[in-house]
Chains A and B, each alone.
Chain A
Amino acid sequence: MPRIIKYIFYDILRTRFILFYTLFLLVSTMAMFQLDTDTGKVIMSLMNIVLMVIPLVSIVFTTIHFYNSYEFIELMLAQPVNRKVIYFSEYISTALSLCIAYIIGVGLPIILYGISPSSLTLLYIGLMLTLVFVSLAFLASVLTRDKAKAIGITLLFWFYFSLIYDGLLLWIVYSFSDYPLEKLTVGLVALNPIDLARIMMLLKLDISALMGYTGAFYQNFFGSFWGMTFSAGVLALWIILPLLIGARIFIKKDL
């Protein structure tokens, strides 16, 4: 496995995209810290980047990479190599390179300009979202052989989780506003990794937004030890489930 990971890694680095991505993150994070002295505000702006850009880049890059390594995968399949090894090597290499880009691009400035609970949470959710969307991209990639179709699916995933889902959530909350919805909404939020990450971040940033009885409920829930374990666990599920479903499909897939 390490040998295969090495070759995939080498292949990813060759495309230089990861390098540009790292630089982009580094430059924009640095610029934000330079422009604003208030660390809280910087973290807030960074949060917007993390919630929007990270999922998009992760999912699209992974899908393109997956299709670009189809030859490699085919080549490997004729060799005495386990399919699972190929699949997970692909995952580990892609996820690792994106995570390293994120750690250098966002983590380094954060460490330079001061570590705080909120910045550490930001780092954490960024990494988690990277892993989640790499997993989703793998799922989309094994579902279809057509590259364009797969990229379409991934964009749909992204669009769904960053916009459509929230719209539906708002609509549900609006339509059933006469009922006590707190518990239901907690469940609904868990169904969207971006929302979950955002709320974990909000709890560290401006809890002032979470007010009133409802706000207090959410704060008690997500702010408690169990709530945090719940959030972290659900995010982990979001990584593991698509990855494993993808693995099952990949193992049975005709190539």
Chain B
Amino acid sequence: MIDLNRVNKKFGKLQALDDVTLTFDAGKSYALVGPNGSGKTTLIKSILGMVIPSSGEIFVDKENIKNHWKYREKIGYMPQIGRYPENMRIGQLIDMMKNIRGNNRKTDEELVHAFNLTKILDKRMHALSGGTRQKVSAALAFLFHARIMILDEPTAGLDPVSVEILKEKILREKDEGKLFVISSHILSDLDDLSTHIVYLFEGKIQYHNTIANLKEETQEGRLGKAIAVYINQNSFQHTLQE
């Protein structure tokens, strides 16, 4: 569904993405992991067209996204930090999004209800807490039945109950054949949600495999542990080579 072909991105001297070649397939769920500043958000934003790659191509459904925008209809995006027009009320924001996506298809308002957003529809965005903001972001991302869901740190700042609601939602949608790309620091969350793992470090893909394989390779049962072991092994190899 999404193909990245030798994508590079430089911010000044900083190489945010280094020769990234990657394929995301429908019906699968990818965990995008890596330390802070490893290029996760840049990768996501590149797919959304918010960041323009310095070189390389990105295809969504075999269509090069360069100078295109229609393909974003297929994508539901939940940003890391949801930034919204501060003066708008939640209700207005949701209405506006529906209005702009402009399709008459039935919207998926499950999360709006599940997060109890219906009770605070007249609250203004600037009055919201970080967690409520995240809820709004999540609700908006799922609103349009998009086949590709890109979630940037979806659980950060959410209360445990809401995290569970969101996780369930993701699992259900995944089973319906949607593609999920989820970045997170909280590896335990990803463990349940993802089938594949992409490990980014300094803009490079260090590891790309199924989670099952990773666990097998490292002989670890938990994703967090498995990654830690993998990293240790690799850095050990690096030192040996030197």
Contacts and interface: CB of A to CB of B under 8 A. Distances in A.
A97 interface: no
Nearest to A85: B69
Nearest to A71: B83
Contact of B49 (A11, A72, A77): A77
A77 B83 CA distance: 12
Contacts of A72: 84-85
Contacts of B91: none
B50 A77 contact: yes
Contact of B85 (A71, A79, A253, A254): A71
Given A252-B52, A254-B50, A78 B72 contact: yes
Contact of B50 (A4, A7, A69, A74): A74
B77 A78 contact: yes
Interface stretch (B96-104, B190-198, B199-207): B96-104
A60 B45 CA distance: 30
Interface string B36-71: 000000000100111110000000000000010111
Interface string A10-29: 01001100000000000000
Nearest to B69: A82
Contacts of B100: 3-4, 7, 76, 79, 81
A83 interface: yes
Contact of B51 (A69, A71, A75, A255): A255
A68 B67 CA distance: 26
Contacts of A230: none
Given A3-B99, A3-B102, A254-B45, A80 B85 contact: no
A78 B87 contact: no
Contacts of A226: none
Contacts of B75: 78
A80 to B, nearest CB: 4
Nearest to A15: B87
A68 B86 CA distance: 9
Interface of A: 3-4, 7, 11, 14-15, 68-72, 74-83, 251-255
Q: Considering the complex of A and B, which 5 residue pairs feature the smallest CB-CB distances, nearest first?
A: A71-B83, A80-B72, A80-B73, A254-B51, A78-B77
Interface of B: 11, 45, 48-52, 67, 69-73, 75, 77, 79, 83-88, 96-97, 99-102
10 contacts: A3-B102, A4-B100, A72-B85, A75-B84, A80-B70, A83-B49, A83-B69, A252-B52, A254-B52, A255-B50
